[in-house]
Amino acid sequence: MEHGDKAGGSSSSNSSSSSMNSIKSRGRSGSSSSRGRVEGGKRPKLAVWKFASCDGCQLSLLDLEDELLELADAVEVAYFLEASRAVVKGPYDISLVEGSITTSDDVERIRRVRKVSRYLISIGACATAGGIQALRNFGDVKEFTNIVYARPEYISTLERSTPISEHVKVDLELHGCPINRYQLLEVISSILNGKRPNINSYSVCMECKRAGNVCIMVAGGIPCMGPVTRAGCNALCPSYRRGCYSCFGPSESVNIRSLSNRFRELGMDDGSIVRVFRMFNAYSQQFREVAREEEVGTQ
Ligand code: SF4
Ligand code: SF4
Ligand code: SF4
């Protein structure tokens, strides 16, 4: 089961159908003046770029099995090495960027990507928050490479793994590890139709309540990051009585300090609280601040 696939009327499923309706209606109009078409009636060019990542977010695009053909009809897939070696030269109308910046080459490359992109969308926890590889940001990267690699002198890497937005202007961020494919469809469809994407900004708790779940934190004393985590997965883990570990990262305007206090009341020690905020979105500003405060508190 994947993010957004859970059965039972979900916001994500609704997003999916509305996205596809949009693509369909735009396709039916078929005229060069429709908003989805660029000048000259050509299909908008889509590019997908990879930086330091596992490819899982790119695969979310290919996982859109039922909608992929229609999407491919609405845009020209001009650069997507995961799917095809054929490359159409830029500039590109929509660039999806997966992965974090971890080398000096990456820094140069993302600037070039920005220059040839009309809309640049960063997708996934790696691209929006540095990813799991940003755990290096809290240690000594030289020490890590010395331990991990037989010939560490061959390794060329920056000290920190950073999100795309630290280097170039990003038009929109899509969160998750991996992202919800229907949210991605909603974003692409919205750009094609010149409207604001309908991506929820509330927390997983809202989805959890909507699913009719009994709260595992209130009723079972199981630590859960749902209250501070951005919605998008239809409360997948709490629906199976597992605490959320925040693969979608911090939601907007949430009281993270209050949740860490609650975790302490539930019996978590200081080190465990630091680690719960240091996962896929460890370098997001909200999580790194609270983890740092907790860490300082333990010293
Ligand atoms: S966010 Fe997660 S799924 Fe996406 S590329 Fe990074 S590690 Fe892979
Ligand atoms: S189980 Fe977790 S996500 Fe669900 S309501 Fe409780 S705290 Fe929120
Ligand atoms: S960890 Fe949290 S955000 Fe990620 S799938 Fe589970 S419930 Fe959803």
Q: SS3 sequence, the chain?
A: CCCCCCCCCCHHHHHHHHHHHHHHHHHHHCCCCCCCCCHHHCCCEEEEEECECCCHHHHHHHCCCCCHHHHHHHCEEEEECCCCCCCCCCCEEEEEEECEECCHHHHHHHHHHHHCEEEEEEEHHHHHHCCHHHHHHHCCHHHHHHHHCCCHHHCCCCCCCECHHHCCCCCEEECECCECHHHHHHHHHHHHHCCCCCCCCCEHHHHHHHCCCCCHHHHHCCCCCHHHEECCCCCCCHHHCCCCCCCCCECCCCCHHHHHHHHHHCCCCHHHHHHHHCCCCCCCHHHHHHHHHHHHHHC
Instruction: Find out whether the beta carbon of 228 lies less than 6 Å from any atom of ligand 2.
Output: no
Instruction: Find out whether the beta carbon of 130 lies less than 6 Å from any atom of ligand 2.
Output: no
How far apart are the CA of 241 and the centre of ligand 2, in A? 10
| Residues linked to residue 50 through DSSP beta bridges, in sequence order | 98
Closest atom of ligand 2 to 204 CA is: 3
- Window from 18-32, 59-73, 119-133, 221-235 with minimum mean pLDDT: 18-32
Give me the pLDDT at residue 39, please: 61
pLDDT at 156 over 50: yes
Residue that wins the pLDDT comparison between 224 and 4? 224
How far apart are the CA of 175 and the centre of ligand 1, in A? 10
How far apart are the CA of 12 and the centre of ligand 3, in A? 14
How far apart are the CA of 273 and the centre of ligand 2, in A? 17
Give me the pLDDT at residue 295, please: 78
Radius of gyration (C-alpha) of the chain in whole angstroms: 20
Give me the pLDDT at residue 294, please: 81
Give me the pLDDT at residue 245, please: 97
How far apart are the CA of 234 and the centre of ligand 3, in A? 8
| Residue 290 pLDDT grade (very low, low, confident, very high; cuts 50, 70, 90) | confident
Residues 6+ apart with CB under 8 A from 65: none
Ligand closest to CA 213: 2
| Residue 42 pLDDT grade (very low, low, confident, very high; cuts 50, 70, 90) | confident
Identify whether the C-beta of residue 184 lies closer than 8 Å to the C-beta of residue 197.
Answer: no
**pTM for the complete prediction?**
0.88
Does the structural domain 11-193 have CATH classification 3.40.50.1360? no
What does the domain layout of the chain look like in residue ranges?
A: 11-193, 204-298
Ligand closest to CA 123: 1
Q: Report the Cα–Cα distance between both ends of the chain, in Å, rounded.
A: 41
Cα(230)–Cα(105) distance, integer angstroms: 31
Instruction: Write the pLDDT tens digit of every residue in 222-273.
Output: 999 999 999 999 999 999 999 999 999 999 888 999 999 999 999 999 999 9
pLDDT at 22 over 70: no
How far apart are the CA of 65 and the centre of ligand 3, in A? 23
pLDDT at 16 over 50: no
Instruction: Find out whether the beta carbon of 245 lies less than 6 Å from any atom of ligand 3.
Output: yes
Instruction: Find out whether the beta carbon of 237 lies less than 6 Å from any atom of ligand 3.
Output: yes
Instruction: Write the pLDDT tens digit of every residue in 186-235.
Output: 999 999 999 999 998 899 999 999 999 999 999 999 999 999 999 999 99
In percent, the amount of the chain with pLDDT more than 70 equals 85
Ligand closest to CA 59: 1
Closest atom of ligand 3 to 235 CA is: 7
| Residues linked to residue 230 through DSSP beta bridges, in sequence order | 203
Cα(127)–Cα(129) distance, integer angstroms: 6
Record the tokens describing residue 67, joined without a space: 């909608």
pLDDT at 166 over 70: yes
Residue nearest to atom 1 of ligand 2 (CA): 215
